[in-house]
Amino acid sequence: MLKYLARRLTATFMVIVLVSISVFMIFSFLPMDPARLTCGKACTPAVVEGNRHRLGLDVPVQVQYVRFVKGIFVGRDFGEGAAKFSCPAPAFGYSFNKHECVTTLIAEAFPVTFSLAIGSFILWLLVGVSLGVLAARRQGKWVDKASTAFVLVGNSLPTFISGILILLLALKFNLINPIEMGRWVSPFKDPIGWASNFILPWMTLALAYAATYTRFTRSNVIETSSEDYIRTARAKGLSEKVILRKHTLRAALAPILTIAGLDFAGLLGGAIITENIFNLPGLGRLSIRAVLIDYDLPVILATTLLAAVFVVTMNLIVDILYAYIDPRVRVA
């Protein structure tokens, strides 16, 4: 197991390095000039060059990348003399549009996105896996037919349609206060207020994802139930509950770990549509504003890189959990 972990950690580190280089190079070769974007309307060549120097864009791209990586670990200084300012580690750059270190902007937005991701993740797993197991155990009965209808509705409705419908129904029946919508409340200070602010976004994402997990769980449980070792367990006289808990679910749910981890990582990168519908100040809204409104390249670079790191890291965690559930994976 230790050798497997060492191999996976090494591979993950190499992937993160390659991703960071690729993302940095892509944004370095964009036709936009960050120095010109940050100088406002009264833009002169001298101002542009001064901004380029403060941003550290007046050196070769490989030097810029080294400074970027170094800033993640030890922080980074921008400018010189009286105009010098610093961003503490981990420093992902400085947003001249918002006059904040990018790390500060991410630190403010990440708790919102994490709350959205973890709540919807738990909800769609509970609903999707439970309904999928029930449908597989009651094939052809009303539960199975109801799950089929749920899967069709969940997979057919785009997230922005289901989110708007849920929001309109909540407003019609006065289930939420429009003024309070999107207000961030810490779960440690006001857990009820925190949950009430996120319940509708959780339902929006859970509807789409739970439909997929219901279908996937149902097919996996049905397929696993026909395996020889399941028939052997029945022949030994084990009850259906014991067989389901100890044998069927362990084998049927193992593949779900893969898609669950990657789906969760994708949400950590920012659920752009859902955050904008419910006015949540998370990473998704931060990145979309940086692209469409502010043209804030440091923010775009940081959020893109973070999203990629989330996916790679969750992939590592999924591989470790999969190896724990199925020891055959360790020797692959």
* pLDDT digit string, tens, across residues 41-51: 667 777 777 77
Distance CA 161, CA 89 (A): 40
Of the pLDDT bands very low, low, confident and very high (cuts 50, 70, 90), residue 76 is confident
121 pLDDT above the threshold of 90: yes
Task: Indicate whether 96 and 114 sit together in one domain.
Answer: no
> What does residue 41 show for φ and ψ, rounded to 5 degrees?
-75, -40
Listed residues 70, 102, 134: the one ending a domain: 102
Task: Indicate whether 195 and 291 sit together in one domain.
Answer: yes
If you average pLDDT over residues 77-104, what whole number do you get?
Answer: 83
CATH code, domain carrying 292: 1.10.3720.10
Whether residue 332 is contained in a domain is answered as no
pLDDT for res 261:
84
Q: Choose the most confident range, by mean pLDDT, from 83-87, 223-227, 324-328.
A: 223-227
pLDDT for res 330:
54
Beta bridge partners of 94: 101
Task: Indicate whether 208 and 95 sit together in one domain.
Answer: no
Amino acid identity, residue 203? M
Task: Indicate whether 87 and 110 sit together in one domain.
Answer: no
Task: Indicate whether 166 and 284 sit together in one domain.
Answer: yes
The Cα angle at residue 306 between residues 48 and 98, in degrees rounded to 5? 40
Q: Give the range of the structural domain holding residue 137, as residue numbers without chain letter.
A: 106-326
pLDDT for res 137:
87
Whether residue 23 is contained in a domain is answered as yes
Return the biggest CA–CA distance within the chain.
85
Place of tokens 């961003």: 87
pLDDT digits (tens, 9 = 90+) for 288-324: 888 887 778 888 889 988 888 888 888 888 877 777 7
Number of independent structural domains in the chain: 2
Question: By the 8 A CB rule, do 131 and 214 touch?
Answer: yes
pLDDT digits (tens, 9 = 90+) for 227-276: 888 888 888 888 878 888 777 887 777 778 778 888 888 888 768 888 88
Task: Indicate whether 94 and 111 sit together in one domain.
Answer: no
114 pLDDT above the threshold of 80: yes
79 pLDDT above the threshold of 80: no
Task: Indicate whether 73 and 114 sit together in one domain.
Answer: no
> What does residue 249 show for φ and ψ, rounded to 5 degrees?
-65, -40
Q: Is 306 helix (H, G, I), strand (E, B) or coil?
A: helix
Distance CA 75, CA 157 (A): 45
Task: Indicate whether 85 and 147 sit together in one domain.
Answer: no
Listed residues 102, 118, 152: the one ending a domain: 102
If you average pLDDT over residues 61-82, what whole number do you get?
Answer: 85
C-alpha count within 13 angstroms, C-beta hemisphere, residue 32: 12
pLDDT for res 41:
67
Concatenate the DSSP letters of all residues of 163-226 into one string: HHHHHHHHHHTT-S-TTTTT----TTT-HHHHHHHHHHHHHHHHHHHHHHHHHHHHHHHHHHHT
Task: Indicate whether 115 and 168 sit together in one domain.
Answer: yes
pLDDT for res 54:
76
Task: Indicate whether 286 and 148 sit together in one domain.
Answer: yes
If you average pLDDT over residues 54-76, what whole number do you get?
Answer: 86
Task: Indicate whether 93 and 153 sit together in one domain.
Answer: no
If you average pLDDT over residues 23-44, what whole number do you get?
Answer: 75
Task: Indicate whether 71 and 39 sit together in one domain.
Answer: yes
Listed residues 102, 132, 147: the one ending a domain: 102
Question: By the 8 A CB rule, do 55 and 39 touch?
Answer: no
Select the more confidently predicted residue: 141 or 83: 141
One-letter-per-residue 3-state SS of 290-303: HHHHHCCHHHHHHH
pLDDT for res 214:
92
